[in-house]
Amino acid sequence: MFRCRTGAATYVRRMKKAVVIGATGQTGRVVVRALAEDGWAVTAVSRTGGRDEQWPGDVREELLDRDDDAALAKVVGDGVELVVDMAAFHRGHARQYAALADRIGSAVVLTSGAVYEDGRGRSFDTQGEPDGFPEYLVPLPETQPTVAPGDATYATRKVALERELLALGERLPVTLLRAGAIHGPGCRTPGELYFVKRNVDGRRVRVLAHGGRSRFHPLSVRTLAELVRLAAARPGSRALNAGDPAAPTVAEIGAPRTR
């Protein structure tokens, strides 16, 4: 809380409260820090209940089973201005928000660019089939069709989640961030590892499909945190593509650098 004094009158202004779900993962830990530094009173929830050493001291940590409706309701308590969710994966998680809509001011939920299909109905789900690799528009707008909602794959579950959240409308403004290839500190399987390992091994030949022309828009965790901060400041119901300013090809990512 901020305690302010004007003349003889004293009043207390409560800091806005935010809950970050998936707080100790690659994305969540940076988001927690960004919101805390922006003046939010942050509760960081995760499966372990741990904390990051770079978080400000007033960040609270809580242990949470993401699929436990009662536990989530307890964390939200009497109400919070913001919930940021790095771990929502299916329509059941969307229905948790519907049940808590009267206690949440707005939400920011991480989804994925994998929800899109191309003009021939191909998507990440079909890339293992003959002629099933998708070819997307560049740039790819948020109006691009998505796969059908369902429970069969990562992409169909994300679409089901998205549609139920957006259907909440004014009851609960939700910003969906359709992330590209997330990179940055804390990544367990960095996409650049292929190039790094070959360099460490002294192998100078790089084998790249399609001549290295493929691109999957990267998204730095720091860029993501800034998008969350901005969405929190201007709540709304929308789906936004989330990516870095540049979208290099695979060949450009792996090109030798000179100092």
Prediction pTM value: 0.88
Question: Is residue 259 situated within a structural domain?
Answer: no
Question: Is residue 3 situated within a structural domain?
Answer: no
Sign of CA dihedral 47, 53, 56, 58: positive
* pLDDT the model gives residue 3: 44
**CATH code for position 136:** 3.40.50.720
Question: Is residue 1 situated within a structural domain?
Answer: no
Question: Is residue 202 situated within a structural domain?
Answer: yes
* pLDDT the model gives residue 189: 78
Question: Is residue 4 situated within a structural domain?
Answer: no
* pLDDT the model gives residue 258: 61
Tell me which amino acid residue 79 is: G
Question: Is residue 54 situated within a structural domain?
Answer: yes
Place of tokens 């910003």: 175
Euclidean distance between CA atoms 88 and 111, whole angstroms: 8
**C-beta of residue 89 within 8 angstroms of C-beta of residue 24:** no
**Mean pLDDT (10-residue bins), the chain, 259 residues:** 47 78 95 96 94 93 94 96 97 97 98 96 94 90 96 97 97 97 83 80 83 86 97 97 90 75
**C-beta of residue 242 within 8 angstroms of C-beta of residue 178:** yes
Instruction: Please tell me the total count of domains within the chain.
Output: 1
Neighbours of 233 (CB within 10 A): 10
* pLDDT the model gives residue 13: 55
Euclidean distance between CA atoms 253 and 229, whole angstroms: 28
User: Which structural domain, as residue segments, surrounds residue 239?
Assistant: 10-253
Across 2-131, the runs of DSSP E, i.e. the strands, are 2-6, 9-13, 17-21, 41-46, 60-63, 80-85, 104-112
User: Which of 135, 145, 73 has the alpha carbon at shortest distance from 104?
Assistant: 73
